[in-house]
Amino acid sequence: MAALYEGYTLCGLVPDQNLSSSGIQGIEEERDRDHVVVTDSTRSVTLYKVSDQKPLGSWTVKQGQKLTCPAVFNSQTNEYVAVTDNKVIRIWKEDDILLDKAFKATVSSDVWKVHCTHGGEPVVLFQRGAVRLLDSLLAAPQQPIEEVLAQEEAIRWSTIIVAETQQFIIITTEQKGEHFLYLQRLNPNSVQRYRLEREEPGLSPLSFSATYRDKHICLLYLYPNGHVYQSVLSVRGLGTEEGVQALPLPRSLLLGLPVGDGQLEAASAMALDEAHVAVVGVPHPSAGGGKDFLCIWNTNFQTLQAGKEMAGKIYGQLWSYSNKVFIPHGKTLSIIPFECPKSSLASALGKLKHTKTEESKTPNSVPSWNNILHGEKAQPSKSAETRRTRTTRKSQSTTNLTTDQVLELIKTAPVEEIQKEVEGFLTRAEFQDLQPSVGQLALTLVSRSLADPAFYSSSTLAQLVHTRCLCHSVCPDLVLLALEKKDYFLCQLCLQFFPDIPEAVTCACLKAFISIPDVDAEKVSLEPDSVKFMENLITRDRAEAGLQNGFSPTSSVVNDRQTRAEDVKKKASAPSQLSCPVGLHKAVLINEILQTPYSDTFLLPHLKDLSSQHVMLFLQYLQFLYLKYSQDAFPQMEGFRSPSLSQIMDWVCLLLDAHFTVLVMTPEAKGLLLNLHRFVKSQVRLVSELGKIEGSLQELRKMKAKESIGQYSIEIIELF
Amino acid sequence: MGEFKVHRVRFFDYMPSAIRTMAFNSQTERLAVARADGAVEIFNFNDNFFQEKVIPGQDGRATEALCWVGHRLFSAGLNGEITEYDLENLRPQYTVDAYGGPIWTISSNSQGTQLAVGCEDGTVKIFAILEERIQFQRNLNRHKGRIISLCWHPSSAQIAAGMTDMIKIFDAETGHATRRLLVDRAMGASKNKEVVVWSVGYLSDHTIISGDSAGKVQIWNGLTGTLVRTYLVTKWDVLVLSVSKDESSVIAGTSEGTVIQFQFISSTVDQHDKEWVRTRTFRNHSHDVSALAHTDTAVVSGGMDTQLVVRPLLDKVEKNTQESALRKIAFPHRSLVGCAKKAGLLLFQFPDRLELWKLGESEGHVCLMYPYFVCRFLQGEDHICCSALSACGGWLAYSTVSSVRLYRIQYNNTISINKVGTLARACSRQPVHLLCASDDGKWLATANTDCEIHIYNLHKMKLHCMVPVYNSCPTTIAIHPVTNNLISVHADQQIFEFSLVQKEYTQWSRRLQAQGLLSLWLERDTPITHITFNPKNPDHIILHDTYMFCIIDQSLPFPELNAVLWNQMTLKSLPVSQRIGQSHAFKICKSFQHLMCVSLLEDLSLVVVERPLLDIMSQLPAPVRQKKFAT
C-alpha cells in the first residue's frame, strides 16, 4: 500500500499578496536525484541539496528584470539555462556568481519555456508553438521563428518526454474554449495535433501530467469537477501526415475525485506510477470540505491509499522526483517522501500484511552500540519540528549561550527565560553535539523540578524530547515527573520517542492513564495524529462512506442516503460493539502504552498491581479495539501511528495471565471473558482451517512433482 | 555401453502378507516370522539379516504364536493345532490338536521341557516336549474367558496368563491360580468395554509387565499382586511386549505403529533403587505393530504394514557403522518373477497362483502392443514354494511342499496347457534354496543354507565338484552360458566367479577379491536376488537388488577404492573421449526402484519389474491413526 512519510521543509516561500500563486515557477532536477533547482516567480534561482535541506547556490537577476521560465540544468555541459523577460536566454555555470556577467542571447520571438531532460540537449519552446534546439537557436539567435499556433491559440502547459531515445515535446493549448494537444517530435521534427474531448462547458483542465510507459505516452489531466482522465498516445504511428487537422483524442475516466462544495480551483494530479496518482488540492473524502490535502489514489482499485493534510494554502502545484513529492503550501515548500509498492487487491483493501515502516519514518537518533562501535556516523536527519523552530524562531534568541551557560541558567532562571534560551540553543546547536547537551539540559531541568515543586517547564521538556536525542536511561526521572505533574502530553511524547522505558514505568503510566477521570482527560492536549486516529476509529461512519470507492459519495444525495441507511442498519445489527468504553483522549494515551516495547516476563509482575476495575476497563477497551480492527477490512489508518492487532492480542493475553483468577471470581467479568473466549475460539478455528488448506496445498504440490507412471511403459535409458 | 530399451512393468500386484508374530532364537541368532497367510520365514541375523528359509503357508493355517525350543520351532494358531516345523525340508513336521478351541498363545519354559498353550475355552494346557514329538501333560485350573497371553517365570514354577480384565498367576506344579491381578478398563465412554491383556511378561524378580487393549503398559509386583506403575502409552491397544534377555528393557508395540521402550534404571543419577521408566519411542510402522523381538542390540518389529524393521539400539551398537543403520525388509530375498527371454513372457509367482504375461512391443518409445495376460495357474490349499519358466516359454514348473508340477504350454492361436505330470519331490538332506542349470543343460548348481554350492554334471548324472564354502549364504547363483563360469553373490554382497571346467576361482574373481569391493557396494542393505547375462556380449553380467540394477563389465577395470561407485551422472557429463578413462566395471542404474526382477531379453531389451512400496501401502487397510497435518 502506498504511503506518505513524514515530510520536511526545503525552503520558505514568499507568496504574493493575495496568495494566488506560491511564488515558485518551477522545480527541476539537477545533476542527480539529490539536487534540485528551484526557480521563483520573480528574480532568483536557487540550487538545493534535498537530503540536507540546504541551499548550495543562488542566482538573482537584476532589479527590473524578471525570470519568465524555470531554469533548467543542462547535464551535458553542466550549465543552467533560463529566460528573462521572455526574449533573453541566459546560460551560466555553478561557479558564476553574477548572472549579469554570464552569457546571454536575445531571440526574435517570445519564449514560452526551455525544456531539458537529463542527459539531453535543452529545447526552447516559443510562445507561438515553434520548437528549436538550444544549440541551433544560439547559432543564429535572431533567426525568424515560425508561428505554429493559430491566432487566438495560447499554450497552457508543456512538457518534454523521452521515449526510447526520441524526445517529444507535449503542448496543450486553448483556443476559444477548446483544448488541443500537440505532440511534437524532435529530430526529425514532426507534429501531430489532437483535440481534447470537451468536458462540461466552461471547464478547462486544471493540470496535466505526462508519463511514458510501454511505448505509449500517458497523459493524465484533472478537471475542476474532480474527474481525472487518461489519454494514451502512441509514439509509433506518428509523423506520417503533418498534423493540420486535429485528431480527436480518446480519453478514459480514471478517477472521480470528491470535490466537496463547488469546484476545484487550485488542484493538481500527477501520475506516480502505472497505478498511483498523487492529487493535491482535493478534499480528503473522510475529512470534510477542506481542500488542503495531498492524497495518493490507486487507479486500479479506485481507493485512497494515503493522505496528508498540508498546513496552509495549497497552490495546486506539485512536482515529483525520485520518490519525493515537492509541494508548496502556505509559506513553505515541503518535500514528502512516498512509496508506491506494486498494488494488489489485498493491499488496496488494506488486508495485506505489511511490516510497519515505523523505523524509516522516525529516524531514531539515540545512538546504538553498532554505530558507536563501528564508527558509523549517525545520519544527520533532523525532525521537522526542530527545523521549524529553527526557521521561525531564529530572531528570538539574541545571545548565543554555550551549554554550560544554559545549564547554569536552568538552575536559577524563571520558566519563560529558560524556555527561550533552550529554544535558541536547540536552533543553534549542530546535530552531532546536540546529543550530550540535550541529555544534560533535561537532567538539570528534571532535577530542578524535583527539588522545587513550584518549578515545572512542560514545553521546554517537550521540546527536548522532540529532538529525539533523549532516552529514558539518560534521564530516568523524566517520565515519572511528567506523571506526577499530570503532564500527559509529555508522557505521550516520551512513550513515543523513548526506546528504553522500563516495564515498571510503562505500568505506572498505564495505571495513571486508566485512572484519569474522562473529564480531565479531555482537557489534555495530545498529539493530533494519534487523536485523529482514535477519532476515526470511534466514528467510523464517515470513513466508511468515504472509502467506498473513488467516486464522491456526497455528489449525489441518493447515494449518500443509501450509505447512511446502510450504516444505520449495521449499527442496529451490532449495537454492543460500537461504544468505546473509555474517552477519546484516554484511549489515545492507552494506545501509546500498547505500542511501547516490553518484555512480558518483566511486565507481568507489575501488571498484577492493577486493580480489578482497571483490568476490566482495560480489557473492555482492548476488546473494543480488537472488534474494531477485526470487524471489517479496517485500513491501517494511512500513516498514523496505531497499535497493531498483534500488539492488542498480546496485551489481552498478558492481562489475562496476570489477573485470571481475579477475573474468574469477578461476576462482572464473566461476559467479557466469554467474549474473549469466543475470539480465541474463532482464531483457533481460523488457524486450523488455514492449516488444513496449507496441508492440502502441500499435498497438491507433491502430487504434481511426481510424474505419473502407468502400469507399463517402454523407456529408453542410456548407460555409460 | 549404450542405450537400452526398457520394459517398465508395474502390473505385478504382489502383496506381501501381514506379519502376525515373531520369535527370536538368541542361541542361533535366527528370527522366525509368521505371516498372516501361514508362511513362516527364518532370517539369519548373523548373516546380514538374510532370509534363508521360507516355509510356505497353507489356506486356513492362521499362525497366532511362534516359539523356539532350542533348534526346534513350534507354532500354534486359531485352527486349534500345535505345529512343529521341519526346518530342513521346510514344511510342517507334524501337528497336534490341543482340543481347546483356537489357540492364542504358546510359550515354553526356560528348560525347554514344557510347552504351555492358552486356549479359547479358558484352559492353559501343558505339553511335554519329547525327542520327536510333544505329548499332552495336563490342564491348569480352568477359568472363564479365553487365555490371550502367557509367560513362564524363568524358574518354571509359575505361569502368568493374560485374559480379559485380569491377569492370573498359576502355580505350574499344582495348576492352581495363586494370584489374580485386576486390570482397569479404559476411562470414559469405553468404560463398559472389557479390557484384553494382549501380552504379559514375567521377570525373574517376579515383576509382571502387561500390555492391554486400553493402551496401558502396567508393571505389577507378582509376589504381592499389587500394581506398581501404569504407563498410558496410546489411545488404542498395546498389542505386544518383548523383554530383553537381561531383563533390563521392555518394548511394547501399539496399534498406532509405535514401539515404546521401557528401561529398568534408576530415575536419578547415583541412586540404587531402580524403576521402570519409559525411555524411547520408535515410529517405523504405519499400522499395528503385532510382532516384536528384543535382541541384544536391536528392536525388531513387524505388523500389518508387512515390513520387517530392524532398529538398532544406538546405545548397544557402534555409531555410524553399518550395524547402526535402520533396516526395513519389505520384499522376499528371492526372485518371484520368471522371465522367458526368447518368448518375452513373464511369470509372476503369488502364494496361491501363477500368472503368465506377454510383454508389449514397441517402436522406440511408441508402444505398438500392450502387454496382455496369458493365463493363470491356481494352486489349491498348499501355497507355492517356487516356480520357473523355460527360455522359450514352452515349459513351466512349480512346486509346493508336497509336489512338483510341470506344464507344457503351446502357443498356437489358442493357448493350450498340458499338465505333464506330477513328480515326486526328491528329498535331500540339506535344504537347497537355490538351483540353476547351464543353458546347454550340462551343468546344474545348487546352493543350500549351509552356504555350500554343489556342481553336478547332468550328462554323467553325478557330482562334479563343490565350490569352496564361503561363510555367507549365497543369495543368487548363475552359470554363464558362454564360459560356463558360476557366478555367486552372497548375503554379505561379495561376488565370486568359479570356473566349472578348471574347478577354481577365475582370474577375474581373484582380482576382485584382491582389490576388494567398495564400501558403498558392501553397505547396500538388500541382497542381489537375480543374475542374467548379455547374450551378445559375454563380458556383461546383469544383477539387481531392490533399489538398483548393475551391469558388471568384466572387460573394464575395477573401481579404485576411493572412486565414485555411482558414476553414471559424471560419465554423462563428460565428453565421449574422456569417458573411457573414468568408467569402471560397475554400471549402476537407480532409475528404477523397488525392483522385483531385472532381466535382459534376447533382443537386448531390459525387462524391469517394479512393485512400488506406495502401491503396497495403498492396498493396506486404513490405519487406526492417520497422520494429519502438523500433528
Q: What is the tens place of the pLDDT at every residue in A671-705?
A: 888 888 888 888 889 889 998 898 888 888 777 65
Q: What is the tens place of the pLDDT at every residue in A482-515?
A: 888 888 888 888 888 888 888 889 998 999 888 8
Among B8, B367, B370, B618, the strongest candidate for a mutation testing the A interface, having the largest count of A CBs within 10 A, is B8
The pLDDT confidence band at residue A309, using thresholds 50, 70 and 90, is confident
Residue B610 near residue B10, CB atoms below 8 Å = yes
Tell me the residue length of chain A: 720
Most confidently predicted of A209-213, A283-287, A310-314, A374-378 = A209-213
Among A302, A298, A293, A301, which Cα is nearest to A260's?
A: A293
Please report the pLDDT score of residue B250 as a whole number. 94
Task: For chain A, give the longest Cα–Cα distance.
Answer: 100
Minimum CA–CA partner of B366 in chain A: A714
Is the minimum CB–CB distance between B371 and chain A shorter than 8 Å? yes
pLDDT at A357 over 50: no
Cell of B395: 515349459
Cell of A496: 513515543
User: Which of A563-572, A685-694, B349-358, B471-480 is least confident?
Assistant: A563-572
CA distance B566 to B590: 9
Q: Which residue in this structure is represented by grid cell 520365514?
A: B41
Q: What is the tens place of the pLDDT at every residue in B171-221?
A: 988 989 998 999 988 777 667 788 999 999 999 999 999 999 999 999 999
Minimum CA–CA partner of B549 in chain A: A719
Q: Radius of gyration over alpha carbons of chain B, in Å?
A: 27
- The contacts of residue A283 (CB under 8 Å, 6+ apart) are A258, A259, A260, A289, A290, A291, A293
Would you call A720 and B362 a contact, using CB atoms and an 8 Å cutoff? Answer: no
Minimum CA–CA partner of A712 in chain B: B9
Minimum CA–CA partner of A689 in chain B: B629
- The contacts of residue B125 (CB under 8 Å, 6+ apart) are B98, B100, B116, B117, B119, B136, B138, B139, B140
Contacts of A716 in chain B (CB under 8 A): 3-6, 364-365
Cell of A595: 505500542
Size of the A and B interface in Cβ pairs below 8 Å? 67
CA distance A587 to A514: 9
Domains of chain A, by residue range, sit at 3-348, 396-501, 528-546+566-696
CA distance A244 to B345: 87
Residue A203 near residue A140, CB atoms below 8 Å = no
CB proximity under 8 Å: B 522-581 to A = 551, 568, 571-572, 579
What does the buried/exposed string (b/e) look like for A341-378 if buried means 16 or more CB atoms within 10 Å of the residue's CB?
eebeeebbebeeeeeeeeeeebeebbeeeeeeeeeeeb
The pLDDT confidence band at residue B423, using thresholds 50, 70 and 90, is very low
Please report the pLDDT score of residue B48 as a whole number. 87
What does the buried/exposed string (b/e) look like for A648-680 if buried means 16 or more CB atoms within 10 Å of the residue's CB?
bbbbbebbbebbeeebeebeebeebeebbeeee
- The contacts of residue B296 (CB under 8 Å, 6+ apart) are B26, B244, B245, B316
CA distance B225 to A461: 81
Among B554, B555, B550, which Cα is nearest to B590's?
A: B550
Q: What angle do CA A564, A566, A567 make, to 5 degrees?
A: 65
In a 13 Å sphere around the CA of B410, the CA atoms on its Cβ side amount to 8
Q: What is the ipTM of this complex?
A: 0.74
Most confidently predicted of A284-288, A665-669, B261-265 = B261-265
Among A702, A707, A717, the strongest candidate for a mutation testing the B interface, having the largest count of B CBs within 10 A, is A717
SS3 of residue A435 by DSSP: helix
Shortest distance, CA A675 to any CA of chain B (angstroms)? 28
Q: In what order do the strands lie in the sheet with B549-553?
A: B530-533, B540-544, B549-553, B586-589
Please report the pLDDT score of residue B65 as a whole number. 92
CA distance A203 to A346: 36
Please report the pLDDT score of residue A377 as a whole number. 43
CA end-to-end distance (rounded Å), chain A: 57
Residue B12 near residue B596, CB atoms below 8 Å = yes
Angle between helices A458-466 and A415-428 (to 10 degrees): 20
pLDDT at A376 over 60: no
Residue B24 near residue B293, CB atoms below 8 Å = yes
Would you call A720 and B587 a contact, using CB atoms and an 8 Å cutoff? Answer: yes
Average pLDDT, chain A: 78
Cell of A94: 555553478
Is the minimum CB–CB distance between B7 and chain A shorter than 8 Å? yes
Shortest distance, CA B143 to any CA of chain A (angstroms)? 51
Helix, strand, coil share of chain A (percent; to 5): 35, 25, 40
Minimum CA–CA partner of A715 in chain B: B6
CA end-to-end distance (rounded Å), chain B: 49
Beta bridge partners of B231: B217
CA distance A192 to A170: 10
Q: Which residue in this structure is represented by grid cell 496441508?
A: A695
Would you call B360 and A692 a contact, using CB atoms and an 8 Å cutoff? Answer: no
CA distance A63 to A117: 30
Shortest distance, CA B334 to any CA of chain A (angstroms)? 23
Among A497, A536, A501, A498, which Cα is nearest to A385's?
A: A497
The arithmetic mean of pLDDT across residues A428-445, rounded, is 77
Cell of B39: 508362511
The arithmetic mean of pLDDT across residues B542-569, rounded, is 84
Interface of A with B (CB under 8 A): 691-692, 694-695, 698, 709-720
Residue A624 near residue A648, CB atoms below 8 Å = no
Cell of B607: 525387462
| CATH numeric code, A3-348 | 2.130.10.10
For B13, which DSSP code?
-
DSSP H or E segment with residue B51: strand B50-55
- The contacts of residue B313 (CB under 8 Å, 6+ apart) are B297, B298, B299
Q: How many CB atoms lie within 10 A of CB A179?
A: 22
Strands (E) located in A474-618 = none
- A307-314 long-range contacts, Cβ below 8 Å, gap at least 24? A307/A4, A307/A638, A307/A639, A308/A4, A308/A7, A308/A336, A308/A639, A309/A284, A310/A280, A310/A334, A313/A15, A313/A19, A313/A266, A314/A266, A314/A267, A314/A280, A314/A281
Would you call A720 and B572 a contact, using CB atoms and an 8 Å cutoff? Answer: yes
CB proximity under 8 Å: B 575-614 to A = 579, 583, 587, 589, 591, 606
Q: What is the tens place of the pLDDT at every residue in A218-272?
A: 888 888 888 888 888 887 765 555 555 777 888 888 888 887 777 888 888 888 8
Please report the pLDDT score of residue B238 as a whole number. 93
Residue A261 CA, chain-centre distance (Å), reads: 25
What does the buried/exposed string (b/e) look like for A681-716 if buried means 16 or more CB atoms within 10 Å of the residue's CB?
eeeeeeeeeeeeeeeeeeeeeeeeeeeeeeebebbe
- The contacts of residue B491 (CB under 8 Å, 6+ apart) are B44, B47, B48, B50, B472, B473, B474, B475, B527
- Give the whole-number percent of chain B exceeding pLDDT 70: 94
Q: Looking at the partner chain, which of A692, A714, A718 has a beta carbon nearest the beta carbon of B365? A: A714
CA distance A596 to A609: 19
CA distance B477 to A68: 104
CA distance B230 to B210: 10
Residue A621 near residue A581, CB atoms below 8 Å = yes
Is the minimum CB–CB distance between B11 and chain A shorter than 8 Å? yes
In this structure, which amino acid lies at residue A151?
Q
Is the minimum CB–CB distance between B3 and chain A shorter than 8 Å? yes
Among A580, A572, A585, which Cα is nearest to A623's?
A: A580
Would you call A714 and B628 a contact, using CB atoms and an 8 Å cutoff? Answer: no
Q: What is the tens place of the pLDDT at every residue in A565-586?
A: 444 444 444 444 457 888 888 8
- The contacts of residue A602 (CB under 8 Å, 6+ apart) are A502, A503, A504
Tell me the whole-structure pTM to 2 decimals. Answer: 0.53
In this structure, which amino acid lies at residue A254?
L
DSSP alpha helices (H): ranges in A318-361? 345-348, 358-361
Among A264, A192, A186, which Cα is nearest to A221's?
A: A264
Would you call A720 and B4 a contact, using CB atoms and an 8 Å cutoff? Answer: no
Q: Looking at the partner chain, which of B370, B571, B630 has a beta carbon nearest the beta carbon of A691? A: B630
CA distance A465 to A471: 8
Angle between helices A403-412 and A415-428 (to 10 degrees): 170
Cell of B412: 498356437
Would you call A695 and B360 a contact, using CB atoms and an 8 Å cutoff? Answer: no
The arithmetic mean of pLDDT across residues B92-118, rounded, is 91
Would you call A717 and B10 a contact, using CB atoms and an 8 Å cutoff? Answer: no
Contacts of A691 in chain B (CB under 8 A): 629-630
Would you call A718 and B370 a contact, using CB atoms and an 8 Å cutoff? Answer: no
Helix, strand, coil share of chain B (percent; to 5): 5, 50, 45
